[in-house]
Structure formats: C-alpha cells, structure tokens
Amino acid sequence: MPLIRADAIVLDGQVCRPGWLEIAGARIAACGSGAPPGQPDRDFLDCLVVPGFIDMHVHGGGGNSYLEAEQIAGAALFHRRHGTTTTLASLVTAAPDELIAGVRALADATRFGVVAGIHLEGPWLSVARCGAHDPAQLRDPEPAEVDDVLAAGDGTIRMVTLAPERPGSSEAIRRFVDAGVVVALGHTDATYERTQQAIALGARVGTHLFNAMRPLHHREPGPALALLESPDVTVELIPDGVHLHPAAVHAVVRAVGPDRVAVITDAIAAAGREDGSYQLGAVQVDVAAGVARVHATSTIAGSTATMDQLFRTVSRLGPDADAALAAAVQMTSTTPARALGLREVGALQVGYDANLVVLDRELRVTAVMAQGAWR
C-alpha cells in the first residue's frame, strides 16, 4: 500500500504538520499527523496536500466544452490537471432536443466516471436575469419536459438551477426534489418572499450568489438575502476578482461560514486558452484580458478560472494561516460534496476516495491523485 508523507496535510479539516496517508487501491486506508508508520513511497517536502477539488458548476475548459459530446473528456482532463477530481458538468440553456442530447451525452460520461454528474443551468431561468443564456430559449418548466429530462439523465442529474418566479416552478421543485435532484435558485428576478417559498419547497443551493439575480435593496431584499438567511442553503461564490469584489466574498464567508459556501469556477471552454472568440451554447462570447463577456456587451459570460487559482484566493481570507487553509479546503471540497450529497469525497479521511492535490509553497499544483492513481 503506497505511503505518502508531506510537510503539511489537511486531514478531515485539520492542518497537520507533517502528516501522512496510506492508500489501498482507490481508497484511503490510514492517515495521521506526525511521522508516518514506515518509509514513505512519496515524500512531498515543503508541500501541502489537500483533498481533490470539487467543482459543482463548470461548463468547460482547455478549449473543450461539456456541451459537446466529443469534448467532455478533454474538459474534465484539463480541470483535473488543476486539481479538480470531482466535476459536476454544467449545461446551459438550449432547445428541447439539444438539451436532451446534451443530457444523454453527459449521462454516458457519468457512467464511465469521467464526470460525477450533471448540472442543468437552464432553460427555466429569468429573461430579465439571463446573463449569457440565450433568451429566445428560456421557458417555463413544463411537467412533460421535466420528466423527459429526468428520463434522459437516468439518475445522473444531480443539480438543476431554475428561477422560482417562473410559472410551474413550484411543481418543478417538488418533482426534482422527489427525484433526488438538488434544486438551486439562480438567474432569477424573484422577490425575497418568493425565494423563501422556494426554499421551503426544498431548494438548497444559491447559484453564483449575487450574479444574475435581483440585487439586494433595503426595501426589497431579493433572493440573495433569503438564500443567505436560510441555514439549509449552500451558496456558490466565484472569487475570481471579476464576478465579485473581494470584500463581498470575505463578507459572505464571515457571515455564513465556510460550511455554507461552495467555491465554483463557472468556467467555460476559454479557461486555460488565449483571449478570443468562443461559444457558450448558442451565445458568442468574447474573452479579453481573461474576462469572458457576451459578444458586444458588458455581460459576464462564465469565467476562465480554475479551482487551484480560486483555492489560492480564498486561502488568504483571514489572519490565521492554518485556519484559512482549512476554510479553503472546506469551500473547495467538503461543502460542495455535502451540498450535492456525494459520499466518500471532499475530505482526506479513512474510507474516503483517494482524491488529493499536492500544492507547492505558492499553492500551485505539483501532483494530482484521483481514486488512488496519480494523474
């Protein structure tokens, strides 16, 4: 059984200096702080080992899109190199036939272990808050389409983002919850009260908080405050310096705690590539200085970020270095795993999948292990 030692390891939420892991097949067989019980097979000096990142909202990367069947593996491989060992592949709004085809392709990829499941971001979103989604294809969640999508996914759809103010949304929320799908609220112009109602029906995630939703106002708090107030809701944040001001990120984490914040990339195919023109579904996206926007507009269209980049950002939130590292692990691994109902991932502890990332002193990826194999 391979034995790994590192100068620092985050084990089950605690920073151990040094620490060790023993791997048996695809699982963690033993772990602990201090000196390892034998001669290590890999000794990572001056390095930090953390759980593999879990990205619960990502559309592509490395020039590849999860919208294209032949590009799914390439997108997953690109993000794995940046430490993402568990991916929830996101689909944007599309016509009914295209949506079903995309779901079926990703369902196959899920069964082969390329991704961990599907996130449907649309088509049941607000026209007023559509962001980079094609407004011509936005529609109400009709029961027949909801059933068709669930049938095409055959148990692989893990999360759906919808706007709770659209007619039929209450019934859709109930249907998805009954099917074991996590319901997220986003791309929404809902009022504070309507958002509360959706949460009462079982919605449990706020999709990229503040972005593409009615802004907070002192007389109409809107969806953001309702999502933050509910202890049952996990909120997604994109701390890339574009979607949110750093002070907003810090304020949210301080207010609700890292156990309710899931860091996401919302990355598109342009992640890891040069500036230029890209497609996000039916929408043309222009990337300049690493910022993606809908063609000829100022509307942000996803990101070009990777999870290791965002880990570096959130690991600096706080004066206590070890506490900040533990919180960063929580937000990039443990919290998204819990929000999605994923078991045996999201932490380094006995019996969990051997998914880990080795980071150097600058918190840059030097090695990645997924299910016990170095990738």
Phi, psi of 298 (to 5 degrees): -100, 5
Q: What is the total residue count of the chain?
A: 375
Per-residue DSSP letters for 70-112? Answer: GGHHHHHHHHHHTTEEEEEEEE----HHHHHHHHHHHHHHHHT
| Residue where the block lists tokens 């949110």 | 244
User: Helix 143-153 vs helix 96-111: angle between axes, to the nearest 10 degrees?
Assistant: 30
Tokens representing 336?
Answer: 């998204």
Consult the annotation and say whether 211 binds a ligand. yes
> What are the sequence ranges of the domains in the chain?
3-50+350-374, 53-340
d(CA 225, CA 307): 26
DSSP state at residue 297: S
Consult the annotation and say whether 339 binds a ligand. no
d(CA 60, CA 76): 8
- For 56-92, the pLDDT digits (tens) are 999 999 999 999 999 999 999 999 999 999 999 999 9
Residue 66: the pLDDT is 97
Residue 318: the pLDDT is 83
Residue 150: the pLDDT is 98
Residue 319: the pLDDT is 85
Residue 12: the pLDDT is 84
Consult the annotation and say whether 243 binds a ligand. yes
Residue 135: the pLDDT is 96
Helix (H) or strand (E) holding 146: helix 143-153
The 10 Å Cβ neighbour count of residue 254 is 11
- Averaged over successive runs of 10 residues, the pLDDT of the chain (375 residues) comes to 96 94 98 96 97 98 97 98 98 98 98 98 98 97 98 98 98 98 98 98 98 96 98 98 97 98 98 97 96 97 98 93 97 98 96 98 98 95
| Cα atoms found within 13 Å of the Cα of residue 353, Cβ hemisphere only | 23
d(CA 153, CA 165): 25
Q: How much is the pTM?
A: 0.97
Is 6 in a helix, a strand, or coil? strand
- For 352-361, the pLDDT digits (tens) are 999 999 999 9
Consult the annotation and say whether 187 binds a ligand. yes
Consult the annotation and say whether 132 binds a ligand. yes
Asked if residue 90 lies in contact with residue 49, where contact means CB atoms within 8 angstroms, the answer is no
Asked if residue 206 lies in contact with residue 227, where contact means CB atoms within 8 angstroms, the answer is yes
Any residues with CB less than 8 A from the CB of 314 and at least 6 apart, and which? 239, 249, 253, 263, 324, 327, 328, 331, 332
Residue 1: the pLDDT is 81
Residue 323: the pLDDT is 96
Specify whether domain 3-50+350-374 bears CATH 2.30.40.10: yes
Which CATH class for the 53-340 domain?
alpha beta
Is 266 part of the annotated catalytic residue set?
Answer: yes
Consult the annotation and say whether 302 binds a ligand. yes
Consult the annotation and say whether 219 binds a ligand. yes
How far, in Å, are 203, 204, 286 from residue 101 at the CA level? 26, 27, 26
Q: Which residues pair with 276 in a beta bridge?
A: 287
Look at the alpha carbons of 41, 47, 48, 51 in this order and tell me if their dihedral is positive or negative. Answer: negative
Phi, psi of 344 (to 5 degrees): 65, 25
Name the active-site residue from 55, 189, 240, 266.
266
